[in-house]
Structure 1
């Protein structure tokens, strides 16, 4: 089984949210400080990472021009020492239209916010700014060990992006156990809302005490699987 494809099929078919993915990962995985630029979007995909460094976007341009494998990937721009907007409308259009990426995630700032919003690009970022990076080399090259660390951590991981932010599933967790948890996270949510809305149980009894695991509320096979998921 290709666990990457299977996981993405489950996430996309069921629109499993970043919140639910965070639960699957034990309340971990958030890309800190990153939020959606445009509301109401949902993207999930394999990650391809490039970096920006020293308040310059020169390296971003170069990596996009010389690299491949961006199609249908979530492009993560990893920020190294950039407090200005890394790029804006032109590069975003190039990434989405010509490199055919699925979405853009950047742990930094972008510019041309009015156009990025108007075009409804699927972008998640820390902030916007009118002041952009320069387009030439602006300092020392990235340390080779840091670059290797960035690529090892982010390339071929999965990111799930929505209005709550971005959560990353590390590639070492893309396995059979993940598939099992994804298959039941939606069912657990359905059970919780059923308990509160229909059975009028308190959230304390439902979420904390999990009283729905007692008695004959659910089929025993489903109870056993839920208990396994929650263990």
Structure 2
């Protein structure tokens, strides 16, 4: 891994940095609202490939997934589908097993819940609906301008997915400064739990007063880690 995006992903995976911690590094932001894990215990951090469904049709989804990059998270955006399920077991299996993608995030509903749970697929979505989209080719589309805007926004960005949900790291955050924020967040978490478990400080002393900053031992540690 060479570029900064790959280094960030490597650090996220190696340290299993949670969506909570990543959102904190993004200034308490970044969550894809309403998205939750279908199966517990999965952790995925990877680059994003954006696709979309619209007009209550799944035709475009099938067309867009003919070729997908391995090791990516596939993010399915949804436009005007009236809460219909965008995809189910067949598409999920194709994307994750046969295309080798890391995870699947759907900004809408999915179906075949029993099968997705049984196979323990790494899928995140808004919810379930047995009523799916129609397999029909539409004469209209979401428009080239909107399509290009969303591709530029999401393609090659990073998503982190765990039991808490999905956090999106925009490309403008793929910097050395953000990498350092992730490292500092991990160090802070270690210190906070040490102060809680070993020193028996309360959370007001740890989080608000930050009493550990007055501790000579921690001052030395901070200097050594610079």
TM-score scaled by length of structure 1: 0.93
**Equivalent-residue separation in structure 1 for 2:146 and 2:125 (angstroms):** 22
Aligned residues: 224
**Partner residue, 2:205:** 205
TM-aligned CA distance change 1:173 to 1:145, over 3 Å: same
**Partner residue, 2:74:** 75
Matches within 5 A, 1:86-125: 86-125=86-125
Q: Give deviations 1:122-162, integer Å, cap 9, x for gaps.
A: 00000011000011124621111111111111111110000
TM-aligned CA distance change 1:54 to 1:220, over 3 Å: same
Please say if residues 213 and 223 of structure 1, whose CA atoms lie closer than 8 Å, have aligned partners that are also in contact. Answer: no
Gap regions ≥5 residues in structure 1: 227-231
TM-aligned CA distance change 1:153 to 1:225, over 3 Å: farther
**Equivalent-residue separation in structure 2 for 1:19 and 1:59 (angstroms):** 33
Gap regions ≥5 residues in structure 2: none
**Equivalent-residue separation in structure 1 for 2:105 and 2:50 (angstroms):** 9
**Partner residue, 1:27:** 28
Runs of at least 4 residues of structure 1 off by over 4 A?
223-226
**Partner residue, 1:58:** 59
Please say if residues 41 and 163 of structure 2, whose CA atoms lie closer than 8 Å, have aligned partners that are also in contact. Answer: yes
**Partner residue, 1:36:** 37
Please say if residues 54 and 139 of structure 1, whose CA atoms lie closer than 8 Å, have aligned partners that are also in contact. Answer: no
**Equivalent-residue separation in structure 1 for 2:87 and 2:193 (angstroms):** 42
Please say if residues 43 and 102 of structure 1, whose CA atoms lie closer than 8 Å, have aligned partners that are also in contact. Answer: yes
Matches within 5 A, 1:145-184: 145-184=145-184
Q: Give deviations 1:152-208, integer Å, cap 9, x for gaps.
A: 111111100000000011011011011111112111111101111111111111111
Q: Secondary structure at the match of 1:33?
A: coil
